[in-house]
Amino acid sequence: MKPETTFVKHDASFEKGTAPTRAAVPSPKRRGAAARRALTPYLFVLPALVYMAGLLAYPMVLNVLTSFKDVTAVNLLSGDGQWVGLENYRQALGDSQFVDAAVHSVVYALAAVALQLLIGLALALFYVRSFPGATATRSLYLIGYAIPIVVSAEVFRWLLDGRTGFVNWVFSLLGLQHEPVYWLADRTWALPAIIGIQVWLGIPFAMVTLLAGLTAIPHSLHEAAQIDGATGWRRFRHITVPLLRPTFLAAAILSLIFTFKNFDLIWIATQGGPANASEVLPTLAYKLVFLQFLFGKGAAVLNVIFLVLLVLSLLYLAALRREEDHAA
Amino acid sequence: MPPSSRTVRRSARWSTVVGIGLVAVYLFPIYWMVTASVKTQPAIRAVPPQIVPIDIDLSSWVDRVFGDPRVLRYIFNSFVVATGTMLLTLALAAPAAYALAKLRLRGKSLLMTLSLSSLMFPAIMLATPLFVIFGRLGLTDSYIGLILADTTLALPYAIVLLRPTFARIPKEFSEAARIDGCSEFGAFLRVIVPLARPGLATVAVLAFLWGWGDLVFALTLATEDSMRPVTTGLWGFFGANTSDWGGAMAFSTLAMLPPLIVFLWSQRLVVAGVTAGGIK
């Protein structure tokens, strides 16, 4: 934030300094050139602005409008559905399906993010120390981030399969389980299994972000504390924890946003099944819109998702601002 | 008392062993997928599982993956869409982020707010309205439609990431180019863009990965089989009821390879992008 303000101020004083000479020679040709110069910056942002207005802002407005209309497959493309006020919201929110999906979404996002932050932090604390191969091994975790979620979900579908799945074999070897469990086809285990896969998907982001936060803590602080006789735990408690907090908070909120809106994993792993046992809001909205063609009701669910994400984003922006204030 | 250098060295060696062990456990699912794709059918079903394949059998690849001409089509489609998403994201984001960082214009905060708030837009929320809009414009089942849709995921992030990249470049560079007779845009293209290469490369890699991995827009905007990318292609072949895990793992390996190669080739850029808050 800081450098930009100084930049603008500096520029303004420069303008002021040259203004009189410009006024002294008022040639229309020059004024045209000046106008063109003033216009140029807008041409730089115009394509992105047009794109975002057309493909991000307008669709959002369309969604909100649709949620107040009775839109079906018949009048979808023409766009002339009847206004029905809050009827879609009443129907969507009053549905037990919606309540179940909302509960699943919250449980899934909170549990997965808590676990992936915990594991990510442990891994970051391990890999932040310098040992031969630390840098090479730690960035390999990002393979889990780089490959498509569809691929990871497909592999886990097999790992968690009841007949030939690797997980069942490990659990029975450890004596934790005597009968095969069809993890993703089991009403009790489908959601916990999805949470487990999500933790795997989220670990790279949590770990790499927290590693960057840990690396930014000046080494001299730890050394000074060590000379003063502080033990490892006390150094962690009084140096690492407070200085890592902003990064941790940002990573937590971004992970929550990402997890809450994740559709790909659930769709490939269970499609919300069995019998809605792992239905979350994004899969419910998809089914309402693209399988049942209840566009208004689907839009209502999507706007609820949007509201949750909006609150999370505002929290993220507030956290970012706090971090910047601390840095300044 | 400070630990002797020998104990330090020994503990460092143990750390290396544990560090490799942990990453091996983490990446086991990937290993399991790749090895399954070259196992025989009985080996895939074997209990206890065959950790290291004994007989190499390429029939999953030959019969299920390359035996079907549609698979190559899916791969080709994914390449077109991911590359297009990458190029469109760069073309839109770079000038906008540069103007936000360095040029005098009104409404900067509006564009920044728009970018920051669209970071959180789920693809699923845009899918319905885009389906309607593209339906009217005749852009469903087209590369352009998929590229336009996938860029919605990458563009806001690209602007947010590139703005500080451009802000760090001293303005003397563009001023010198202007004095040499370049236009503002000419100075940007010839002088600034080369200086911002690391940031632009990070955005390019992430946009490619996201374009390659997209499922939602592929599912909703490309219903015709010939327009499907690998993500929906994989799902169409080995959907909810499959028990052909050899074929599924071979196809998954194929769908994973391009992003994996891109990642291994540009690890540092991906780390930089993720650290800056880049999350799908």
pLDDT digits (tens, 9 = 90+) for B66-84: 888 899 999 999 999 999 9
Among the partner residues B125, B255, B271, nearest to A148 by beta-carbon distance:
B255
pLDDT in tens, A149-204: 999 999 999 999 988 899 999 999 998 888 889 999 999 999 999 999 999 999 99
Please indicate if any CB of chain B lies within 8 Å of the CB of A73: no
Assess whether pLDDT exceeds 60 at residue A9. no
Cβ neighbour number for residue B22 with a 10 Å cutoff: 17
Q: How close is the nearest chain A Cα to the Cα of B252, in Å?
A: 5
Pair (A134, A13) in one structural domain:
no
Assess whether pLDDT exceeds 50 at residue A15. no
Domain span including residue B50: 5-61
Number of domains in chain B: 2
- Those of residues 96-155 in B touching chain A at CB distance below 8 A are 96, 98-101, 103-105, 111, 114-133, 135-136, 148-149, 151-152, 155
pLDDT in tens, B219-239: 999 989 999 999 999 998 888
A-chain CB neighbours of B167 within 8 Å are 3-4, 7
pLDDT in tens, A92-133: 888 899 999 999 999 999 999 999 999 999 999 999 988 898
For the ranges A19-28, B52-61, B204-213, which has the lowest average pLDDT?
A19-28
Which CATH number goes with the domain that contains A199?
1.10.3720.10
Whole-number pLDDT of residue A78: 67
Among the partner residues B240, B245, B259, nearest to A146 by beta-carbon distance:
B259
pLDDT in tens, B150-173: 999 899 999 989 999 999 988 888
Please state, in angstroms and rounded to a whole number, the distance separating the CA atoms of residues B151 and B89.
6
Judge contact between B196 and B169, C-beta under 8 A: yes
Pair (A106, A40) in one structural domain:
no
Pair (B50, B78) in one structural domain:
no
Pair (B42, B154) in one structural domain:
no
- Average pLDDT of the segment spanning B21-36: 96
Pair (A56, A129) in one structural domain:
no
Pair (A103, A34) in one structural domain:
no
Judge contact between B58 and B120, C-beta under 8 A: no
Q: Report yes or no on B208 lying in a domain.
A: yes
Judge contact between A304 and A282, C-beta under 8 A: no
Pair (A96, A231) in one structural domain:
yes
- Name the DSSP class of A83: E
A-chain CB neighbours of B136 within 8 Å are 77
Nearest Cα to Cα of residue A284 among A107, A154, A102:
A102
A-chain CB neighbours of B263 within 8 Å are 142-143, 146-147
Q: Report yes or no on A79 lying in a domain.
A: no
- Work out the angle at residue B153's Cα, subtended by the Cα atoms of residues B184 and B160, and round it to the nearest 5 degrees: 45
Q: How close is the nearest chain A Cα to the Cα of B47, in Å?
A: 8
Pair (B104, B17) in one structural domain:
no
Among the partner residues B116, B128, B268, nearest to A299 by beta-carbon distance:
B128
Instruction: Concatenate the DSSP letters of all residues of chain B into one string.
Output: -PPPHHHHHHHHHHHHHHHHHHHHHHTHHHHHHHHHTTS-HHHHH-SS--SS-SS---HIIIIIITTSHHHHHHHHHHHHHHHHHHHHHHHHHHHHHHHHHHS--TTHHHHHHHHHHHTT--HHHHHHHHHHHHHHHT-TTSHHHHHHHHHHHHHHHHHHHHHHHHHTS-THHHHHHHHTT--HHHHIIIIIHHHTHHHHHHHHHHHHHHHHH--HHHHHH--SGGG--HHHHHHHHS-TT---HHHHHHHHHHHHHHHHHHHHHTHHHHHHHHHTT---
Q: Report yes or no on A321 lying in a domain.
A: yes
| CB pair distance less than 8 Å for A52 and B279 | no
Point out the domain boundary residue: B40, B61, B82: B61
Number of domains in chain A: 2
Q: Report yes or no on B236 lying in a domain.
A: yes
pLDDT in tens, A285-327: 999 999 998 888 999 999 999 999 988 888 887 877 776 676 6
Pair (B53, B73) in one structural domain:
no
Q: Report yes or no on B280 lying in a domain.
A: no
Pair (A93, A58) in one structural domain:
no
Q: Report yes or no on B196 lying in a domain.
A: yes
Whole-number pLDDT of residue A19: 40
Q: Report yes or no on A83 lying in a domain.
A: no
Please indicate if any CB of chain B lies within 8 Å of the CB of A169: yes
Read off the pLDDT band of B20 (50, 70, 90).
very high
| CB pair distance less than 8 Å for A286 and B127 | yes
Pair (B190, B134) in one structural domain:
yes
| CB pair distance less than 8 Å for B249 and A155 | yes
Point out the domain boundary residue: A10, A33, A67: A67
| CB pair distance less than 8 Å for A163 and B245 | no
Among the partner residues B152, B183, B209, nearest to A146 by beta-carbon distance:
B209
Longest dimension (CA), chain A: 93
B-chain CB neighbours of A51 within 8 Å are 92, 151, 155
Pair (A204, A315) in one structural domain:
yes
Assess whether pLDDT exceeds 60 at residue B265. yes
- Average pLDDT of the segment spanning B174-197: 88
Please state, in angstroms and rounded to a whole number, the distance separating the CA atoms of residues A213 and A291.
44
Pair (B123, B99) in one structural domain:
yes
In this structure, the dihedral spanned by the alpha carbons of residues B253, B255, B259 and B260, taken in order and rounded to 10 degrees, is 0
Nearest Cα to Cα of residue A323 among A256, A244, A267:
A244
Pair (A19, A122) in one structural domain:
no
Pair (B9, B118) in one structural domain:
no
Nearest residue of B to residue A79, measured between CA atoms: B132
Judge contact between B36 and B249, C-beta under 8 A: yes
Q: Token match 């000038």: residue? A: B95
Q: ipTM value of the model?
A: 0.92
Pair (B206, B141) in one structural domain:
yes
Nearest Cα to Cα of residue B120 among B83, B157, B93, B160:
B157
Pair (A94, A243) in one structural domain:
yes
pLDDT in tens, A205-249: 999 999 999 998 888 888 888 888 888 888 888 889 999 988 899
Domain span including residue A175: 89-327
Pair (B252, B173) in one structural domain:
yes
Assess whether pLDDT exceeds 90 at residue B273. no
Pair (B257, B149) in one structural domain:
yes
Read off the pLDDT band of A70 (50, 70, 90).
confident
| CB pair distance less than 8 Å for B130 and A55 | yes
Pair (B123, B253) in one structural domain:
yes
| CB pair distance less than 8 Å for A151 and B121 | no
Top mean-pLDDT range of B108-112, B215-219, B240-244 = B215-219
Q: Report yes or no on B32 lying in a domain.
A: yes
Q: Report yes or no on B35 lying in a domain.
A: yes
Select from A37, A49, A155 the residue whose CB has the most chain B CBs within 10 Å, as the one to mutate to test that interface: A155
CA distances from B2 to A226, B6, B14 (A): 10, 11, 19
Q: Report yes or no on A266 lying in a domain.
A: yes
Residue of higher predicted confidence among A12 and B245: B245
Q: Report yes or no on A80 lying in a domain.
A: no
Nearest residue of A to residue B208, measured between CA atoms: A146
pLDDT in tens, B102-155: 888 888 888 888 888 787 888 999 998 999 899 989 999 999 999 999 999 899
Pair (A148, A57) in one structural domain:
no
Buried (b) or exposed (e) across A208-222, using 16+ Cβ within 10 A? bbbbbbbeebeeeeb
Among the partner residues A3, A139, A169, nearest to B271 by beta-carbon distance:
A139
- Those of residues 90-109 in A touching chain B at CB distance below 8 A are none
| CB pair distance less than 8 Å for A11 and B104 | yes
Please state, in angstroms and rounded to a whole number, the distance separating the CA atoms of residues B43 and B52.
10
Q: φ and ψ at A188, to 5 degrees? A: -80, -40
Pair (A58, A94) in one structural domain:
no
Cβ neighbour number for residue A306 with a 10 Å cutoff: 19
Judge contact between A154 and B234, C-beta under 8 A: yes
- Total count of residues recorded for chain A: 328
Please indicate if any CB of chain B lies within 8 Å of the CB of A170: no
> What is the crossing angle of helices A295-327 and A241-260, to 10°?
170
B-chain CB neighbours of A305 within 8 Å are 122, 124-125
- Average pLDDT of the segment spanning A252-270: 94
Please indicate if any CB of chain B lies within 8 Å of the CB of A11: yes
Pair (B243, B131) in one structural domain:
yes
Whole-number pLDDT of residue A14: 34
| CB pair distance less than 8 Å for B184 and A37 | yes
Nearest residue of A to residue B129, measured between CA atoms: A59
Residue of higher predicted confidence among A9 and A324: A324
Give Cβ neighbours of residue B165 (< 8 Å, ≥ 6 apart): B97, B101, B196, B198, B199, B200
Point out the domain boundary residue: B61, B87, B106: B61
Whole-number pLDDT of residue A28: 62
